[in-house]
Amino acid sequence: MSIEVATADEMFNLGLSISKYLKAGDFILVNGPLGAGKTVLAQGIGAGLGITDITSPTFVISRVHKAALPMIHVDAYRLIDTENPNLYLDDLDLDLENSITVIEWGGAESARLNEERLEITIDRSNDIRQVAINAIGPRWIDFSL
């Protein structure tokens, strides 16, 4: 599925729309260049879960946002060039089963954490961003926006 997103408000609202489908254990990978809107999308997802204080976790790598349905927000950017990003991700000790997990810059090392996931790629090579959503696994078989 591909969606055109022209503004930050539209990216936030896309996150809100996605949040309506989420339940504990859901896993979302978000990729795109710097400034693409990955954190704004995560803010929209969080808002739909009742979480309002989401900021980029670039320097702390992960944040757990408490709510009725908690959200773990990870920024794997600083792990990409490490010798063993898999080890660092495992060391985060994420509670994947009881939370929504959103990983920015989530590549293959992140994808291995959950076989059922949404993979979201934001292309900002034009003024209007193209957001591709790839639903992977039986959990997402009927997913549509």
CATH number at residue 46: 3.40.50.300
- Across residues 122-134, what is the average pLDDT? 94
Could you list the residue range(s) of the whole structural domain that residue 13 is in?
A: 2-138
- Across residues 10-28, what is the average pLDDT? 96
Residue 145, in any domain of the structure: no
Residue 46, in any domain of the structure: yes
At 48, is the pLDDT very low, low, confident or very high (cuts 50, 70, 90)?
very high
Residue 144, in any domain of the structure: no
pLDDT at 87 over 50: no
CA gap 124, 23 in Å, rounded: 29
pLDDT at 54 over 90: no
Instruction: Note whether 122 and 15 are within 8 A (CB).
Output: no
Q: Which two tokens stand for residue 19?
A: 């949040």
At 120, is the pLDDT very low, low, confident or very high (cuts 50, 70, 90)?
very high
Residue 69, in any domain of the structure: yes
- Across residues 2-6, what is the average pLDDT? 96
Residue 134, in any domain of the structure: yes
Q: Which residues pair with 135 in a beta bridge?
A: 118
- Residue 109, helix vs strand vs coil: helix
Residue 109, in any domain of the structure: yes
Instruction: Note whether 113 and 93 are within 8 A (CB).
Output: no
Domain count, the chain: 1
Q: pLDDT over 90 for what percent of the chain?
A: 55
Residue 13, in any domain of the structure: yes
Q: Which two tokens stand for residue 144?
A: 């549509």
